[in-house]
């Protein structure tokens, strides 16, 4: 996974890391290790897309797609917006759940046992390749998905979309959620405050898995920021504006730059 900044390391509890005694010539910098990691991750992504495609039932295609969907929701008094975000998603994502989920997906897609076993073996291989270097020492992440690894994106999507199509779907139904839209670990919900208790929704989401915790952000003064735009919740309509974080500089690196 390459170098990692000290700030990132101090974000997570020390218990999820362990020092590994590995010679650098045969460790994370070796050509063999890098080749194996890239090959297995590429293979995993291809096999998943080919044999067990994700449903993407709640996944956003783009900001424009989200705006169109929001405008299709009948607007009335009491309609509110809120967003949820998963704290430290990769290191807190349970890897033990992945094999049962892959088996369920394989069964629903009528895969043969050989292909299913190959998926599980590739999953084991990818998860074992979770080394990174910090201050000239090699570390192995002992829990969750590897930070910065290409495989973590697809593996977290498998886990989250399974939750969305099972337990989260039950929460949406039970709590009368009008709209639910997700983009990786960012979630936007639309609800009627007369029929939905948002704090109950928050509690239910935090009970989905022992290691996954959600933060909650309510709209303030009829506004909420989500992804790259601001939603203004007026009495009779919705308005949208571009949103940039206070730290944004709008500086673009030229395509011919030698910047790493």
pLDDT digits (tens, 9 = 90+) for 211-236: 999 999 999 999 999 988 999 998 88
Question: Which pLDDT value is given to residue 68?
Answer: 93
Question: Which pLDDT value is given to residue 40?
Answer: 58
Indicate whether 47 belongs to any domain: yes
pLDDT-derived band at 23 (thresholds 50, 70, 90) equals very low
Contacts of residue 138, Cβ cutoff 8 Å, sequence gap at least 6: 19, 20, 21, 22, 24, 27, 28, 131, 132
Is 15 a residue whose pLDDT tops 90? no
pLDDT digits (tens, 9 = 90+) for 84-117: 999 999 889 988 888 889 888 888 888 888 888 8
Indicate whether 248 belongs to any domain: no
Indicate whether 255 belongs to any domain: no
Q: What is the average per-residue pLDDT within 190-209? A: 95
Residue of 107 and 43 predicted with greater confidence: 107
Is 249 a residue whose pLDDT tops 90? no
Residue 227's domain spans which residues? 6-242
Indicate whether 259 belongs to any domain: no
Extended beta strands in the chain, E state: 17-19, 79-86, 131-134, 137-141, 179-183, 186-192, 214-218, 223-226, 229-233, 238-242
Q: What is the average per-residue pLDDT within 55-74? A: 90
Question: Which pLDDT value is given to residue 6?
Answer: 41
Query: How many alpha carbons lie under 13 Å from residue 31 in its C-beta half-sphere?
Result: 0
pLDDT digits (tens, 9 = 90+) for 110-164: 888 888 888 888 878 777 777 777 788 877 777 888 877 778 888 899 999 999 9
Number of domains into which the chain is organized: 1
Indicate whether 252 belongs to any domain: no
Question: DSSP 3-state assignment of 241?
Answer: strand
Residue of 251 and 156 predicted with greater confidence: 156
SS3 content of the chain, % helix, strand, coil (to 5): 40, 20, 40
Question: Which pLDDT value is given to residue 199?
Answer: 95
Q: Record the tokens describing residue 159, joined without a space.
A: 């886990």
**Residue 40 region by backbone torsions, left for phi larger than 0, else alpha for psi between -120 and 50, else beta:** alpha
Contact in structure between 94 and 142 (CB atoms under 8 Å): no
Indicate whether 251 belongs to any domain: no
Indicate whether 256 belongs to any domain: no
Indicate whether 87 belongs to any domain: yes
Mean of all residue pLDDT scores within the chain: 81
Question: Which pLDDT value is given to residue 34?
Answer: 46
17-31, 56-70, 187-201, range with greatest mean pLDDT: 187-201
pLDDT cut 70: percent of the chain above it: 83
């Amino acid at each position: 996974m390459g170098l990692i900044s000290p700030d990132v390391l101090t974000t997570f509890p020390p218990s999820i890391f362990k020092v590994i005694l590995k010679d650098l010539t045969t460790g994370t910098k070796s050509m063999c290790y890098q080749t194996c990691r890239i090959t297995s991750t590429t293979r995993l992504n291809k096999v998943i897309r080919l044999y067990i495609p994700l449903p993407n039932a709640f996944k956003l295609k783009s900001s424009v797609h989200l705006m169109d969907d929001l405008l299709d929701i009948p607007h009335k008094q009491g309609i509110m917006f809120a967003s949820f975000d998963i704290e430290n998603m990769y290191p807190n994502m349970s890897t033990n759940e992945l094999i049962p989920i892959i088996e369920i997906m394989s069964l629903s897609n009528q895969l043969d046992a050989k292909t299913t076993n190959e998926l599980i073996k590739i999953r084991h291989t990818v998860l074992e390749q979770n080394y990174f270097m910090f201050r000239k020492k090699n570390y192995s992440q002992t829990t969750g998905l590897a930070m910065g690894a290409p495989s973590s994106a697809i593996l977290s999507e498998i886990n989250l979309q399974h939750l969305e199509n099972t337990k989260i779907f039950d929460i949406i139904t039970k709590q009368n959620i009008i709209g639910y839209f997700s983009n990786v670990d960012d979630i936007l919900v639309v609800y009627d405050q007369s029929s939905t208790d948002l704090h109950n929704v928050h509690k239910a989401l935090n009970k989905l898995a022992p290691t996954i915790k959600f933060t909650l952000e309510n709209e303030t003064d009829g506004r909420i920021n989500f992804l790259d735009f601001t939603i203004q919740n007026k009495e009779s309509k919705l308005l949208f504006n571009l949103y940039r974080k206070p730290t944004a500089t709008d500086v673009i690196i030229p395509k011919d730059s030698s910047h790493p």
